[in-house]
Amino acid sequence: MDEGAEMTTTDKTAVVAGAGIAGLAGALALHGIGHRVLVLERGAEPPTGEVAEAAGRWTRPTVPQGIHSHTLTSLGVKVLRERAPRVLDAALAAGARLLDLTEALPKGSDGGREPGDEELVALGCRRAALELVLYRAVAALPGVEIRHGRAVGALELDPGDGRVRAVRTDGGERIAADVVIDATGRQAAARSWLRAAGVPVAEDRVSPSGLSGFTRFYRLTGEGRPGPLNRGNAAGDIFDHYAGVLHPGDNGTFSIALATLPGDRALHGLLTPAGFTAVARATPGLGAWLADGVSEPISPVHAITSPPNTLRGTATSAQRPVPGLFPLGDAACVTNPLFGRGMSLALAHAFRLADLLAAHPAVDTAQSRAAAREAEALFLPWYEQSAAADRERIARWRARIEGRRAAAASAALADAARTDATVWRALTRMLMGLTAPAELLGDEKLLARVRDAAPAPARPQAPAREELVRLVRDAEGALG
């Protein structure tokens, strides 16, 4: 059900653990099917005031990834357009911008519109700004309450059928619930709740992301884009030993994310403003945005080591059903943030789950199993794609650091997309979450186009490994 449709009230109460993107999306979607919703959030209330300014003041110690570069892919925009258009309108009114990805079509293509191109858009918006807009929309809904400084500490299960009956907060309060949503993000607190309740927890599927990230935010001081967005929603690329990507945000802001292998001590200086700036300016596609007088930094450099790609066993059919308990978003599946899929998958998952609960209203084992199948259908393809891509990238980066060369198995597809508009559209739809990886790789006609594609022009060259290390060391030396 979309937010503008007439709501049918049920007698069910849902408790949502966590008021991040996933928890707020879950509250919005469950409200849409008539549930009373209580959101418990251990963090403080967000700041008041204009979104553009308040987003910059919102500190989230419980959400360490919140201060890093984010993007809302075409999948996320599609969900908002179809299921929460008022949220999208509010984000645009607050300064977010829709980015037309077809601006990055290969040079030489006719540039004409094709069916489906209207879906190839992304949202330029800082995560904090989008989350603040979503928070305010959810908090204003009748039948939805958000309590801060509270967290779910335990589940109470029916001793007979094992279904959820209530939660107990970390302060000891008992709250009756028909449905409990675990939106605690990467913490995936449902695992500890189940263990404490004596329920065996299914094993997770885990694969390394192999990524340490460094992010800084900026604000443009003039009008217009200083440079093109060669990736449609971003500038920069994933190179042979590091990544440097820029994402436009709301209200003239943008973020730059640099990524390396964890433990790469030679590039530890990226955490310093001087080291970060030196590498960002030398990265193809980013330098024009950092030229003197073009922009100014509005944050320090933030560092984070990404968690592994993880498909939670609690979200899959491997888990013994616990009727009424549903992991949502990152609590169900985490993929490498380099792909920018987390927020979009959380939005999609929230509304898919609400649709399922509306179609199968009885809170029982059958409903629980159907939800697990739905989660697997949504997340498994992206988990597997991310895990495979990360294995390839880790091997390539490690080989380059060690002075060896490693072939990129996916290079042919990416190269063909730089000369063939049909291949570009297919690859972009996959990268933006609109089509599953298997659909792309199983299209024999498309693969034939890849084989027959004209040679791609040389890519802009990023600094060699030795040059990158020198830039960082020189910047650190200048500080001394």
52 assigned to some structural domain? yes
Q: Which of 446, 430, 223 lies closest to 341, judged by CA?
A: 430
Average confidence score pLDDT of the chain: 93
Question: What CATH number does residue 216 fall under?
Answer: 3.30.9
User: Among 343, 370, 386, which residue terminates a domain?
Assistant: 386
Going by their DSSP bridges, the two strands 243-248 and 235-238 should be labelled as: antiparallel
C-alpha to C-alpha distance for 1 and 109, rounded to whole angstroms: 39
**Collapsed DSSP state (helix, strand, coil) of residue 205:** strand
Note the pLDDT tens digit of each residue in 62-100. 776 667 788 899 999 999 999 999 999 999 999 999 999
Q: What is the pLDDT of residue 437?
A: 94
Segment holding 91, helix H or strand E: helix 85-93
398 assigned to some structural domain? no
Q: What is the pLDDT of residue 5?
A: 46
Q: What is the pLDDT of residue 409?
A: 61
Q: Are residues 352 and 444 both part of a single domain?
A: no
Q: Are residues 52 and 131 both part of a single domain?
A: yes
C-alpha to C-alpha distance for 306 and 471, rounded to whole angstroms: 24
76 assigned to some structural domain? no
Q: Residue holding tokens 């000891």?
A: 172
274 assigned to some structural domain? yes
Note the pLDDT tens digit of each residue in 324-350. 999 999 999 999 998 999 999 999 999
pLDDT < 50 regions, the chain = 1, 4-7, 480
Q: What is the pLDDT of residue 70?
A: 85
273 assigned to some structural domain? yes
C-alpha to C-alpha distance for 185 and 41, rounded to whole angstroms: 12
Whether 261 and 214 have beta carbons less than 8 Å apart is answered as no
C-alpha to C-alpha distance for 328 and 342, rounded to whole angstroms: 11
Q: Are residues 147 and 199 both part of a single domain?
A: yes
- Domain residues for the domain of 240 are 212-307+461-479
Q: Are residues 316 and 299 both part of a single domain?
A: no
Q: Are residues 299 and 314 both part of a single domain?
A: no
Q: Are residues 221 and 266 both part of a single domain?
A: yes
6 assigned to some structural domain? no
Burial class for 380, CB neighbours closer than 10 Å (0-12, 13-18, 19+): middle
Q: Are residues 320 and 184 both part of a single domain?
A: yes
Q: Which of 260, 255, 256 lies closest to 209, judged by CA?
A: 260
Q: Are residues 298 and 320 both part of a single domain?
A: no
Question: What CATH number does residue 156 fall under?
Answer: 3.50.50.60
Q: Are residues 292 and 225 both part of a single domain?
A: yes
How many domains are there within the chain? 3
C-alpha to C-alpha distance for 296 and 305, rounded to whole angstroms: 26
Q: Are residues 234 and 340 both part of a single domain?
A: no
91 assigned to some structural domain? no
Q: Residue holding tokens 């063939």?
A: 420
Q: Are residues 155 and 267 both part of a single domain?
A: no
* Single-letter amino acid code for the residue at 389: A
C-alpha to C-alpha distance for 246 and 439, rounded to whole angstroms: 28
Q: Are residues 364 and 351 both part of a single domain?
A: yes
pTM, rounded to two decimals: 0.95
The CA–CA distances, whole Å, from 12 to 154, 323, 358 equal 20, 13, 11
344 assigned to some structural domain? yes
C-alpha to C-alpha distance for 62 and 65, rounded to whole angstroms: 9
User: Among 351, 386, 421, which residue terminates a domain?
Assistant: 386
C-alpha to C-alpha distance for 101 and 426, rounded to whole angstroms: 12
Q: What is the pLDDT of residue 1?
A: 47
Q: Residue holding tokens 């898919």?
A: 352
Burial class for 300, CB neighbours closer than 10 Å (0-12, 13-18, 19+): middle
